[in-house]
A and B are shown apart, each in its own frame.
Chain A
Amino acid sequence: MSYTHALLPPSYVEIEMADESLFDFLHMEIVSHIYKEQQSSKGEMDNKDRAVCVSVLESMGFRVGQGLIERLTRDSPSFKDELDVMKFVCKDFWTKVFRRQVDNLRTNHQGTYVLQDNKFSLLTQLSSGKQYLDQAPKYLAFSCGVVRGALSNLGMDSVVTAEVSVMPSCKFQVVVQKL
């Protein structure tokens, strides 16, 4: 846990999740709550219900991502180009939010980027293989929103999706929308 001394100048403030478990547990409960809410009004969940849940989670993440990026880039210089922004997301942003760096960034240089994280922090406790694979998307929706929100406040409108084939490795696809 990190804290700041009242007499230190603001530049010494470090952003650290006070205890990672706090967010992990809260996130688990948020996902569970949203799915329960959607289910109680219908009884059975169909694909449309699932899509609603995913989109609610994603929009929550969006707002969080927007706020986080303001906080994290407070003292950084402005970015040269899109690729620079993505590199920042893969390194500094990912480290602060997901506790490690993205392992692999690929792009087609035409606005599509694939970020691969081989030990995505929200999946590591789920399984290390195929078990619970069908449940993984529920726990990725919020994070997709966080990435989209962060990019949005850096001036990049995008669509962010995630796919998992073997846990805890996960690929986020960012497609930047050109106006």
Chain B
Amino acid sequence: MTVHNLYIFDRNGSCLYYNEWNRKKQAGISKDEEFKLMYGMLFSIRSFVSKMSPLDMKEGFLTFQTSKYRLHYYETPSGLRFVMNTDLSVPNARETLQHIYSNLYVEYIVKNPVCVLGQSLDSELFSSRLDAFIRALPYYSPRAA
């Protein structure tokens, strides 16, 4: 049971934060390209999902899974996008992502007078609290399942 990595994007597509805990395989492209790819893909999936939905949609795109990992997506009303990859034992990380937003991002970034919104998140306080939070999750373990 584990968390692999986490991306935070703003509404313009810039990646504000990225960290990984347990990633065995890299994408083979530069980090910038990877972020662009991730954001672009999510943008397309969201629009596809809403277009093809046979019913009226509430939340829209939530997760996708492969045979090895699951990607969880959470978008705040302010346009911030949280993307987390976990292994398959985690069915729903929405609450986790919501917690990261309201208790970590809002507390340590929005309320930090030095952090300019829209720029990458440099605050060490934020990184260390986020790291501690991820490691304390019930479904986190240093080794992948």
Binding site for B on A (CB under 8 A): 21, 24-25, 27-28, 31-32, 125-129, 131-132, 135, 138-139
A126: chain B residues at CB < 8 Å are 112-114, 123, 125
Residues of B with C-beta under 8 A to A24? 111
Chain B residues contacting A139 (CB-CB under 8 Å) are: 113
A31 CA / B113 CA spacing, docked (Å) = 9
CA distance A12 to B112 in the complex (A): 35
Determine the distance from Cα of A129 to Cα of B124 in the docked complex, in whole angstroms: 9
Closest to B112 in A: A125
Q: Does B108 contact A (CB under 8 A)?
A: yes
Q: Which B residues are within 8 Å of any A CB, using their own CB?
A: 107-108, 111-114, 123-125, 128
Cβ of B114 and Cβ of A135 under 8 Å apart? Answer: yes
Are B125 and A131 neighbours in the complex by a CB distance under 8 Å? yes
B113 touches A127 (CB 8 A): no
List, in ascending order, chain B residues with CB within 8 A of A127's CB: 123-125
- Cross-chain contact B124 with A21 (CB below 8 angstroms): no
**Selected A-B contacts with CB under 8 Å, 18 pairs:** A21-B111, A25-B111, A27-B113, A28-B111, A31-B113, A32-B113, A125-B107, A125-B108, A125-B113, A126-B125, A128-B124, A128-B125, A129-B125, A131-B123, A132-B114, A132-B123, A135-B114, A138-B113
Assembled-state Cα–Cα distance A21/B113 (Å): 12
Q: Does the CB pair A131–B124 fall under 8 Å?
A: yes
Whole-angstrom CA separation of A32 from B107 in the bound complex: 19
Q: Report the separation of the CA atoms of residues A131 and B115 in the bound assembly, to the nearest whole angstrom.
A: 12
Smallest CB separation, B143 vs chain A (Å):
29
For A131, the chain B residues whose CB sits under 8 A away are: 123-125
Q: Which residue of A lies closest to B107 (CB)?
A: A125
Q: A24-B111, A125-B125 are in contact. List 8 more A-B contacts (CB 8 A).
A: A32-B113, A125-B108, A125-B113, A128-B125, A129-B124, A129-B125, A132-B123, A139-B113
Centre residue among A25, A125, A132 by max chain B CB count within 10 A: A125
Cβ–Cβ < 8 Å partners of B123 in chain A: 126-127, 131-132
Which of chain B's residues have a CB closer than 8 A to the CB of A132? 114, 123
Min C-beta distance of B125 to chain A, whole Å: 5
Which residues of the other chain, A, contact B125 by a CB distance below 8 angstroms? 125-129, 131
User: Which residues in B have their C-beta under 8 angstroms from that of A28?
Assistant: 111, 113
Query: Closest CB-CB distance, A168 to chain B, in whole Å?
Result: 9
User: Which residues on B sit within 8 Å (CB–CB) of A27?
Assistant: 113
What is the CB-to-nearest-CB distance from A91 to chain B, in angstroms, rounded to a whole number?
26
Distance between Cα atoms of A25 and B107 in the complex (Å): 12
**Inside 8 A of A138's CB, which chain B residues have their CB?**
113
* 8 nearest CB pairs, A to B: A28-B113, A125-B111, A131-B124, A127-B125, A125-B112, A132-B114, A128-B125, A135-B114
